[in-house]
Amino acid sequence: MDFHLGKKQKAIRDISRKFATEVVAPRAEDIERTGEHPYEVVAQMADLGMMGIPFPEKYGGGGGDWVSMHLCIEELSRADTLLGAILDVTTSVVGQELLIFGTEEQKQKWLIPIAQGKELGAFGMTEPDAGSDAAAIKTTAVLKGEDWVINGSKQFITNTGLDNTSIVIITAKTERESDGKTIICTILVPKDAPGFKVGQKYEKMAQRGTATHELFFDDCRVPRDFLLGDINRGFAQHLAVLQTGRISIGALTTGLAQACFDEAIAFIRQGSQGNQSLFTSQRVPFKLADMAMRIELSRTMYLKAAWLKDQGESHTLEAHFAKLYGSETATRIAAEVLKIFSPYGYLDEYPISRYFKQAKLFEIVEGTSEIQRLVIARGLL
Amino acid sequence: MDFSLTKEQKDIQKAAREFARGEFDPDVALGLEKEGQYPFEIWKRACELGFIGMHFPERCGGQDLGLLENVLVVEEFCRKHSGIGMALGLSSYGSEMILRFGNDDQRQRYLPSVTKGEHASSLAYLEKDQGNDFTSFKTTAVKKGNGYLVNGKKSFVVNSTLPGPIILVCQLTNTTSHGEKVALIVEKDTGGLLSFPMGGRVGMRMVPLASLTFNNLEVSHESLIGDEGQGHFQLINVLNEMNIEAAAIGTGVAQGAFDLALEYARQREQFGQKIGSFEAIRDRLADMDTRIEIARLLTYKSAWSFGRNDGSPKVNYMAKMVSADTALEVARDSLHIFGGYGYMVENQIEQFYRDASMVDIIGMPGQTEKSLIADQIIGKI
């Protein structure tokens, strides 16, 4: 048992923290207000090698581990969860799915630019009638000659419609040739595929800088060899990498909860006597004590899940714990800190107002809290 | 003991519900919310129909009704739309200061116009870095000639851009009641008054909020409410009453969010069944409805007991505290039931969540209520 970070892990955490503090934090309010994707910040992340941390060097990665990756996600999210979300989708889900299930050709073509951060990937699973019930998708893919012909739509898809979005990995229903049975496969859809259209950007309560769109496939054609992995196991493949996505949301929400906590401490330290008096009684200090404890537990949970993954061990439950505990902790802490700041914290110029609105999102995305509990409970019996 | 509403109360409740249903157009509301504009037309019509200030005496433009009738109206308004409901509910904010403590001239001059929708009223009491302490303000009124010279700064003043008086509570110096507080009526066009709009914020965006700077502002002695040195007593009394209003807002916002979630749970299908048939959702809805009923009971009790000889402000604090918490938690859980849809601006539920978070700052902000309840039950030790 050793809870110390390794030298490389520590270095990645420290670089991420420095970058988050110096480059990201000053821009976070602006990004939220304008809702514009921060191309320049993301390009700097790419230069630092952040999108490729856990990937082998031969595929443009840094040859690091998933613990390091998640330390980076936590630190960036502490300044802006938007960047944690970009890393989650790009690296933990899309990049990893290509790494594990892609052909050598697919890795060369799509993974390398993603690992280098030159391009971003997206994954399209959710549909209007397939949210928590992700297998209820209606999008179809039919093999016609040398092409897949895709019809349907996807919604709430993050990392789409950007200048450098290269591909969307979608789930689609198809008929198995051998027995005609309906199965779910995953297919790579490049942004310029004919018949593929990106809809309007969603207007969200917060996290407005995230590029989230509806996607339309109208006789969209992609070459036959853009199928990813085993045609029979598309859904399972996708769920396998989403397991890492859960660890990522755990890290992201740990960063968010830490950011809320940082604000509370700064408010009490730097504020006037009125603020400091908050610390001379017990209500607020006891709350802060609980917050510090929960953040540490949240952090320890995602790190354990990431560590297990690095060891090649099963970590299904731990990933669910990290996502569920992290997201619920962040939402709770954001609301509590908002109260400490009351009434000023409600104003846009105070970061806590942003954190409060952002936090709720993470109890919903990549599996609602109910889905997390459902899967955890199933694993217990 | 009788928990039923009278026929008249039921009629008022029904009239308010029908008015809200007919007038609070969701598309109009979305536009007002986006632009941060006051629902001017709707406010005017609500006044025409006698919904504002119905608890004022007839000679002050009201209908001589009780506070409970006012609570029923505010609850129905907030239930239909949190943003419009809060704006209308707060349109007469602080005019109770004139109603309860003003002289006949002041009442005649200001109150009828508040009920007619010619004026909205504003209560200026909060100051920056004041924490939860109302015992001492930095804004001062110095006696000068036949009036006062006011200097200082107040923030979170509602209805700042609407026509109508500001009721200012500040510290009195240079008199026999030195160190006491005084309540003054300030006209918005007075020289020496500068208004700075407080911009973007989490919720309550339709209500104009400003910080006010008083720079050698002259107020005549006729604008003094009650006697010098009574300001603190008056303010606490009015805030006690505002707590009941806040409790009504909280109950209405919670009920409105719940209505939306219930409707959604009834029609949304996942895993081949309505999500309202899942035990996790059913339990959540049952818990929410229970909490709303508790908040409503306390709110009605506080309105019922207001002004009675055996009434204690403790129940007002409790009502406000419970309703504010209930609004936030119920709105959060309601949004959650909508899943990803709930986070999108086109769905009203995200606004209910944002608005719900701000119920806490109406009346006595923050956790002042909790301390006051403790004061009352523990007493001097």
Chain B residues with CB inside 8 Å of A131's CB? 270, 339-340
How many residues make up chain A in this entry?
Answer: 381
Q: Which band of pLDDT confidence, cut at 50, 70 and 90, is reported for residue A150?
A: very high
The predicted model gives A265-294 an average pLDDT of: 83
The predicted model gives B281-295 an average pLDDT of: 98
Q: Which band of pLDDT confidence, cut at 50, 70 and 90, is reported for residue A270?
A: confident
Q: What's the pLDDT at A274?
A: 60
Q: Which CATH class is domain A7-119?
A: mainly alpha
Q: Which of A11-25, A218-232, A263-277, B249-263 has the lowest mean pLDDT?
A: A263-277
Q: Which band of pLDDT confidence, cut at 50, 70 and 90, is reported for residue B62?
A: very high
| Among the partner residues A203, A274, A365, nearest to B133 by beta-carbon distance | A274
* Nearest residue in chain B measured CA to CA from A344: B128
Q: Which band of pLDDT confidence, cut at 50, 70 and 90, is reported for residue A322?
A: very high
The predicted model gives A125-144 an average pLDDT of: 95
CATH superfamily of A123-234: Butyryl-CoA Dehydrogenase, subunit A, domain 2 (2.40.110.10)
Chain A residues with CB inside 8 Å of B336's CB? 360, 363-364, 368-369
Same fold, A7-119 and A123-234: no
Q: What's the pLDDT at B131?
A: 60
Q: What's the pLDDT at B70?
A: 97
Cβ contact B198–A347 (<8 Å): yes
Percent of chain A at pLDDT > 90 equals 92
> Nearest-CA distance from A95 to chain B in Å?
24
The predicted model gives B260-271 an average pLDDT of: 97
Q: Which tens digits make up the pLDDT trace of B337-376? A: 999 999 999 999 999 999 999 999 998 876 788 888 998 8
What span, in angstroms and rounded, lies between the C-alpha atoms of B148 and B138? Answer: 15
> Nearest-CA distance from A125 to chain B in Å?
13
The predicted model gives A183-199 an average pLDDT of: 97
CB atoms within 10 A of CB A23: 18
Mean pLDDT of chain B: 94
A235-380 has which CATH code? 1.20.140.10
The predicted model gives B220-228 an average pLDDT of: 95
Domains of chain B and CATH, by start: 7-116 (1.10.540.10), 122-231 (2.40.110.10), 232-378 (1.20.140.10)
What span, in angstroms and rounded, lies between the C-alpha atoms of A48 and A41? Answer: 11
Q: Which helix (H) or strand (E) holds B122?
A: strand B122-124
* Nearest residue in chain B measured CA to CA from A338: B357
Cβ contact A33–B200 (<8 Å): yes
| Among the partner residues A273, A339, A346, nearest to B202 by beta-carbon distance | A346
Three-state SS letters, chain A: CCCCCCHHHHHHHHHHHHHHHHHHHHHHHHHHHHCCCCHHHHHHHHHCCHHHCCCCHHHCCCCCCHHHHHHHHHHHHHHCHHHHHHHHHHHHHHHHHHHHHCCHHHHHHHHHHHHCCCCEEEEECCECCECCCCCCCCCEEEEECCEEEEEEEEEEEECCCCCCEEEEEEEEEEECCCCCCEEEEEEEEECCCCCEEEEEECCECCCCCCCEEEEEEEEEEEEHHHEECCHHHHHHHHHHHHHHHHHHHHHHHHHHHHHHHHHHHHHHHHCCHHHHHHHCCCHHHHHHHHHHHHHHHHHHHHHHHHHHHHCCCCCHHHHHHHHHHHHHHHHHHHHHHHHHHCCHHHECCCHHHHHHHHHHHHHCCCCCHHHHHHHHHHHHC
Q: Do A135 and A235 form a contact (C-beta atoms < 8 A)? A: yes
> Nearest-CA distance from B293 to chain A in Å?
23
Q: What's the pLDDT at A151?
A: 98
Q: Which band of pLDDT confidence, cut at 50, 70 and 90, is reported for residue A197?
A: very high
Q: What's the pLDDT at B368?
A: 84
Domain boundaries, chain A: 7-119, 123-234, 235-380
| Among the partner residues B280, B336, B360, nearest to A364 by beta-carbon distance | B336
Residues of A with CB under 8 A from a CB of B: 33, 126, 129, 131-133, 136, 155-156, 202-205, 271-275, 277-278, 283, 331, 335, 338-339, 342-344, 346-349, 353, 356-357, 360-361, 363-365, 368-370, 373
Q: Which tens digits make up the pLDDT trace of B181-207? A: 999 999 998 899 999 999 899 999 999
Cβ contact B339–A339 (<8 Å): no
Q: What's the pLDDT at B371?
A: 86
The predicted model gives A159-167 an average pLDDT of: 96
In a mutagenesis test of the A interface, which of B130, B343, B351, B375 is the best target, namely the one with the most A β-carbons within 10 Å? B343
Residues of B with CB under 8 A from a CB of A: 126, 128-131, 133, 156, 198-204, 269-272, 278, 280-281, 328, 332, 335-336, 339-340, 342-346, 350, 353-354, 357-358, 360-361, 365-367, 370
Catalytic residues of A: 366
Cβ contact B360–A271 (<8 Å): no
* Nearest residue in chain B measured CA to CA from A32: B200
Q: What's the pLDDT at B174?
A: 75
| Among the partner residues A136, A202, A363, nearest to B270 by beta-carbon distance | A136
Cβ contact B339–A347 (<8 Å): no
The predicted model gives A242-271 an average pLDDT of: 94
| pLDDT of residue B178 exceeding 80 | no
Q: What's the pLDDT at A275?
A: 66
